[in-house]
Structure 1
Amino acid sequence: MRHLVKRSLRLAGHATSIALEPEFWAVLEEEALRREATLAALVAEQDAARTETGQPLASRLRVFALALSRGR
């Protein structure tokens, strides 16, 4: 079983922790670098986008990372 890596971030002024597999974190970090943004900014963007669906943030980040890795 793969282990999860927990990261602590501040989103909208609140501290939160997100646990994802290392592979997902790697894709998200690469995208943040590509955008010349911080990882926190990228996560905040995805957090704002998910509010309409009520999707859990970790799930949103996994789907986003998967789409990035597939070139979408």
Structure 2
Amino acid sequence: MSGLKKRSVSLAGHATSVALEPEFWAVLDRIAAERGLSQAGLMVQIDKERGRRPLASACRLLALDWVARPRPGAD
């Protein structure tokens, strides 16, 4: 995998950044598009649902879950 890429985001009024591999960002961008969200909107959603898990870990797990999910028409 390539090196980490950082993206800045505002969560609950606080600026933070998340560093992930470009491959994970590509999947997260597809998830955001599928859900009709901006990149920032998806990050807010992940933040609300992650519990005590680190944000970067929650992002990676969401991406892995999404790519493993069966797609209609895919055999």
TM-score, normalised on structure 2?
Answer: 0.86
The residue type paired with residue 21 of structure 1 is: E
Residue 3 of structure 2: SS of its match in structure 1?
coil
For 1:66 and 1:36, the matched residues in 2 are separated by 19
Where does structure 2 lack aligned partners over 5 or more consecutive residues? 71-75
Q: How do 1:53-68 residues align onto structure 2 when only pairs under 5 Å count? A: 54-68=52-66
Question: What is the aligned partner in structure 1 of residue 67 from structure 2?
Answer: 69
CA RMSD, 1 decimal? 1.3
Overall identity of the aligned pairs, in %: 50
Structure 1's consecutive aligned runs of 4 or more residues displaced over 4 angstroms after TM superposition are none
Where does structure 1 lack aligned partners over 5 or more consecutive residues? none
Query: How many residue pairs were aligned?
Result: 70
Residue 7 of structure 2: SS of its match in structure 1?
strand
Q: How do 1:1-72 residues align onto structure 2 when only pairs under 5 Å count? A: 2-51=2-51, 54-71=52-69
TM-score, normalised on structure 1?
Answer: 0.89
For 2:2 and 2:21, the matched residues in 1 are separated by 7
Residue 55 of structure 1: SS of its match in structure 2?
coil
For 1:37 and 1:24, the matched residues in 2 are separated by 17
Bigger Rg, which one: 2
